[in-house]
Amino acid sequence: MTQSTEDWPLPALLESRKAYQERLALVLPHQITGVTATANPAASAVAFVAMYVGAIGEHAPIRPSTVTWMSDAVAAKRTEAERRAYYRAAMRGEKEVASFCDEITVERGKIWYANNSREPVRDESIDALINNGAVLNIRTDLSTNSPLARYTLDPEFAALLSPDLVGEQLEQAVEQWRSTHLSPTGRRRAQLRRDPARNSKSVPVNLPGAGVRQLHPGASSWILKGVAEQFSAHLREPNVLFISQPGEKVNMLDGQALKAMGLAVDQTTLLPDCIMADLDPERDEVWFVEAVFSGGEITNERKESLLAWAAAQGLSPEKCRFLNAFESRTHSEAKRALPMLADGSFAWFSDEPERLLAWDSIGSD
C-alpha cells in the first residue's frame, strides 16, 4: 500500500466539489440506491478528497478526518506537489494541515466539517458508498475505533469521475458500471467484500456457549478472541452480546440478542468493540470492552458516554464494568494508553490472561 511516497498516481480533477455532487447524482442517484447519502454534500466531499489525494485502489487510503479537514482554499490548490503535501499533512494530524497552509501561504478558512461531525461522513456517506461498490475498505484488519486510514475509491468507479468523460461516452460508462455494480449480484459482491468468513486470514472466535464467529483479520481481532475465549472464563455465566467489526454496524445475531434484552445500540456514537455480560444472578454485570491496538481505549470521557447510554437502557451504573484489552504490557499501545485509562476501569493483556490490572482510587470497593 502506497501512502507516504511521491509516486502514487494522481487523477485529473473535476472543477469543483459541486461538480462531484452532480456526477454522483448521475452515477448513484437515490432513486437507484435508495438512500440520499450516495450523492449528498458529504458524499461529494468524500469523492473530491479521494480524487484530490489519489485514494484509489491500493493507493493513499484516507480516513474521515482527511475529508473533514479540507477547506475551499486548500481544495483550490491543485498542483501535484500541493495535493501530495496535503495528504501527508492530513495523515499526521490537523496541526500539520495548519502548518501546510502556512507553508503554501494560504488562508485555510473554514473547514468543510467540524471535528465532531465525522460520523455523517463515515457512517452515512462512506458506508453508503461502500454498500454500492464505489468505496473500498482496504484495511479490514483495523478495529472500528482505529484512527488509521482505510478508505479508497474503487478504480472502476473513480474512472467515472474523470473530467475527460463527458456526453454520450459518460452515459455509456455509467450504464456499464451500474450494470456490474448496482445489480443484485453486484450489491452482493460489495457485501461479501466485508465478510471476514471469506478471508483465509480471518480470526475464528469461540464465543462462550454460542458457537464460532469469524472476525476480520488483524491484531484487534486476536485480542477480542482472547477476551471471548480466555477472559470470559473468569465470569460465572459469560455471554457475548455484541462484537463490532469494520463495515458492520451491528451483526444480525447480536442485534437480535440486544433487542431481546431491550437494549438499543447507538450505532454512530457507542460501538465499543465488544459488550459482554455475566448473566449469573449474583453478578448481573455488563462489560464494555475495547481491544486497544491502534487507539480507542476507554478514557474518563468515553466511560461517561457509555454510562449515559447504559442508564438510558435501564442498566445499573453499579453493574457496568469497563475493560481495556491489550496484546501485552510491553506493547507500545499499552504504554501509550495506560496513563489515559478511565478511573474504575480494568486492563487485561492477552499474553497474561490470568491477570487483571485495576485502575481505581485507593479504598474504593
Rounded Cα distance between 48 and 126, Å, is: 13
d(CA 285, CA 289): 13
Instruction: Give the whole-angstrom CA distance, residue 128 versus residue 28.
Output: 10
Q: How far apart are CA 106 and CA 79, in angstroms?
A: 14
Q: In whole numbers, what is the pLDDT of the chain averaged over residues?
A: 86
pLDDT of 49 higher than 90 = yes
The rounded distance, in Å, linking the Cα atoms of 138 and 124 is: 18
What residue type is assigned to position 87 of the chain?
Answer: Y
Q: Which range among 185-189, 233-237, 316-320 shows the weakest confidence by mean pLDDT? A: 185-189
Mean pLDDT for the stretch of residues 225-245: 90
The pLDDT value recorded for residue 218 is 77
CB of 202 closer than 8 Å to CB of 224? no
3-state DSSP of the chain: CECCCCCCCCCCCCCCHHHHHHHHHHHCCHHHHCCHHHCCHHHHHHHHHHHHHCCECCECCECHHHHHCCEHHHHCCCCHHHHHHHHHHHHHCHHHHHHHHHHCCCCCCCECCCCCCHHHHHHHHHHHHHHCCCEEECCCCCCCCCCCCCEEECHHHHHCCCCCCCHHHHHHHHHHHHHHHCCHHHHHHHHHCCCHHHCCCCEEEECCCCCEEEECCCHHHHHHHHHHHCHHHHCCCEEEEEECECCECCCHHHHHHHHHCCCCCCCCCCCCCEEEEECCCCCCEEEEEEECCCCCCCCHHHHHHHHHHHHHCCCCHHHEEEEEEECCCCCHHHHHHHHHCCCCEEEEECCCCCCEEEECCCCCC
Residues whose CB falls within 8 Å of the CB of residue 362, separated by 6 or more in sequence, listed in order? none
Please report the pLDDT score of residue 238 as a whole number. 93
pTM, to two decimals: 0.60
Mean pLDDT of 89-109: 95
Q: Are 68 and 113 in contact (CB under 8 A)?
A: yes
In this predicted structure, what is the pLDDT of residue 247? 54
- Phi and psi for 136 in degrees, rounded to 5? -110, 145
Measured over the CA atoms of residue 184, residue 22, residue 68 and residue 265, the dihedral's sign is negative
Report whether pLDDT(21) > 90. yes
pLDDT at 211: 81
| Cell numbers 488509521: residue | 148
Position with higher pLDDT, 156 vs 140 = 156
How many angstroms separate the first and last alpha carbons of the chain? 49
229: pLDDT strictly greater than 90: yes
User: How many C-beta atoms lie closer than 10 Å to residue 129's C-beta?
Assistant: 29
Q: Tell me which of 119-123, 213-217, 220-224 is least confident.
A: 119-123
Distance CA 154, CA 208 (A): 38
Q: Compute CA distances 267 → 65, 118, 145, 220, 251, whole Å.
A: 19, 13, 13, 19, 11
Tell me, what's the pLDDT at 74?
97
Predicted pLDDT of residue 246 = 61
Largest CA distance in the chain: 75
pLDDT tens digits for range 159-218: 999 999 999 999 999 989 988 888 777 666 655 555 555 556 778 888 887 788 888 777
Average pLDDT estimate for 36-54: 95
Say whether pLDDT at 236 is over 80: yes
Please report the pLDDT score of residue 1 as a whole number: 40
What mean pLDDT comes out for the span 292-308?
A: 89
